[in-house]
């Protein structure tokens, strides 16, 4: 059998079309999966619409089969098809309807707000604004100045220090709380891995929230200091050569303490990170350090109330 140049060209064109169809199909399925995970209301509306359309098509095929088998006459079949087509047109002309959840509903899943009484919860939730990010869009960049705090309510983001992804965060995670607590610049870049829904609160409003519920500040310190120390140390020697899981377990065992003004912070056999405040070397008032910084030059004295994070000096 002789294959002409024209046949060969048609075959190549057909392969290109098939590959493009398959690629578009994969993109479509990925998009729907992201929609299902990030916006379940929209996904449910689309799924319901498609289910109704499938049922109407099934009804139409059933009418054709009944007509073919002589169970109904052509007049009855035409009436039934006409009824089905009216419903199909109505479905096509009517856009999918859905209701996005209220801010208060989105925030109910945030673990550090769950224990607040209803009155405090309602007041604090009123400070938040809804912000949505598409995949690969950056929420914050390293060295950015304070832009408030983000609470992830849907989707996932990756946290990068340098060229290394140090964490993947999902619903309930908080971004930027440390910059509020110690007024530092961002120490990591955070990028959306999937469509991400966040609730954002400004620096001034987060301070108002802490005044309404004093316990929030303690909760912030409990989890914020761990991620902050991870970001600060991960790119430095010797910690940049450690296994990530081992490094994170080491930091997780650290504790937060408050040093009062004039209190001596004894380094001992520990690694200490100054989270907030100022210190100076004992016997040398001029040698001062400002947070955030690793304390590694012997004992220091707090110049005011300071927060420190203490870890064992693992060799």
List the single range of 77-81, 284-288, 299-303 with lowest mean pLDDT: 284-288
Question: Model confidence at 146, in pLDDT bands (50, 70, 90)?
Answer: low
End-of-domain residue from the set 39, 66, 93: 93
In this predicted structure, which of 159-163, 175-179, 189-193, 197-201 has the lowest mean pLDDT? 175-179
What's residue 106's pLDDT? 67
Query: Which region holds residue 109: left if phi is over 0, alpha if psi is between -120 and 50, else beta?
Result: alpha
Same domain, 88 and 107: no
Q: Give dist(CA 179, CA 188) in Å, integer.
A: 11
Q: Is residue 241 part of a domain?
A: no
140 and 79 within one domain: no
pLDDT value of residue 315: 53
Span 88-105, pLDDT tens digits: 888 888 877 656 566 677
Same structural domain, 107 and 138: yes
Q: Domain check: are 200 and 120 in the same one?
A: yes
Same domain, 162 and 42: no
Dihedral angle computed from the Cα positions of residues 4, 6, 9 and 13, in that order, rounded to the nearest 10 degrees: -130
In a domain, 246, yes or no: no
Which distant-in-sequence residues (6+ apart) come within 8 Å of 74 by Cβ?
Answer: 67
Q: Same structural domain for residues 64 and 114? A: no
Q: How confident is the model at residue 297 (pLDDT cuts 50, 70, 90)?
A: confident
| Domain, as residue range, for 57 | 5-93
What residues have CB less than 8 Å from 48, skipping those under 6 apart?
96
Whichever domain contains 185, its CATH number is: 2.60.120.10
What is the average pLDDT value for the chain, to the nearest integer? 82
> Are residues 73 and 180 both part of a single domain?
no
Is 114 found in the same domain as 209? yes
Asked if residue 271 is part of any domain, the answer here is yes
Tell me the mean pLDDT in the region 189-201. Answer: 89
Candidates 220, 215, 125, 209; CA nearest to 179 is: 220
- Judge whether 244 lies within some domain: no
**6 band by pLDDT with thresholds 50, 70 and 90:** low
User: Which pLDDT tens digit goes with each residue over 32-47?
Assistant: 777 676 667 677 777 7
Domain shared by 210 and 125, yes or no: yes
Asked if the structure places residue 192 within a domain, the reply is yes
| Long-range contacts, 232-241 (Cβ 8 Å, 24+) | 232/187, 232/273, 232/292, 232/294, 233/273, 233/294, 234/161, 234/164, 234/166, 235/161, 235/162, 235/164, 236/294
Pair (71, 125) in one structural domain = no
| Domain assignment of residue 133, yes or no | yes
Specify the number of domains making up the chain. Answer: 3
- Whether 194 and 262 map to the same domain: the answer is no
Of the residues 206, 234, 262, which one is the last residue of a structural domain?
234
User: Phi-psi bin for 308: left (phi > 0), alpha (psi -120 to 50), beta?
Assistant: beta
Which pLDDT score, from 0 to 100, does residue 190 have?
Answer: 92
Same domain, 230 and 181: yes
Residue 182: the pLDDT is 65
Asked if the structure places residue 196 within a domain, the reply is yes
End residue of a domain, out of 69, 93, 117: 93
Predicted local confidence at residue 167, as pLDDT:
84
In a domain, 142, yes or no: yes
């Amino acid at each position: 059998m002789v294959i002409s140049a024209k046949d060969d060209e048609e075959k190549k064109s057909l392969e290109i079309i098939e590959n493009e169809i398959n690629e578009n199909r994969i993109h479509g399925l990925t998009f729907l999966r992201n929609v299902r995970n990030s916006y379940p209301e929209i996904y449910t509306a689309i799924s319901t619409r498609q289910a109704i359309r499938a049922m109407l098509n099934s009804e139409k095929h059933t009418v054709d089969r009944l007509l073919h088998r002589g169970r109904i006459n052509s007049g009855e079949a035409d009436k039934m098809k006409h009824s089905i087509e009216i419903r199909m047109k109505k479905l096509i002309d009517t856009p999918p309807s859905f209701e996005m959840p209220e801010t208060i509903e989105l925030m109910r899943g945030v673990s550090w707000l769950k224990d607040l009484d209803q009155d405090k919860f309602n007041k604090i939730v009123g400070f938040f604004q809804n912000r949505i990010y598409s995949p690969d869009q950056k929420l914050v960049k390293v060295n950015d100045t304070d832009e408030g705090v983000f609470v992830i309510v849907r989707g996932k983001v990756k946290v990068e220090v340098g060229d290394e992804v140090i964490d993947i965060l999902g619903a309930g995670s908080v971004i930027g709380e440390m910059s509020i607590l110690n007024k530092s610049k961002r120490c990591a870049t955070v990028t959306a891995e999937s469509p991400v829904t966040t609730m954002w609160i400004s620096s001034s409003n987060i301070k108002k929230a802490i005044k309404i519920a004093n316990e929030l500040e303690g909760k912030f310190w409990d989890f914020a200091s761990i991620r902050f120390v991870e970001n600060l140390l991960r790119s430095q020697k010797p910690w940049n050569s450690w296994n990530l899981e081992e490094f994170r377990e080491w930091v997780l065992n650290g504790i937060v303490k408050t040093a009062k003004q004039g209190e001596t912070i004894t380094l001992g056999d520990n690694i200490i990170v100054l989270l907030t405040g100022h210190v100076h070397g004992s016997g040398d008032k001029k040698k001062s350090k400002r947070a955030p910084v690793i304390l590694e030059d012997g004992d220091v004295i707090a110049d005011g109330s300071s927060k420190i994070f203490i870890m064992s000096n693992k060799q």
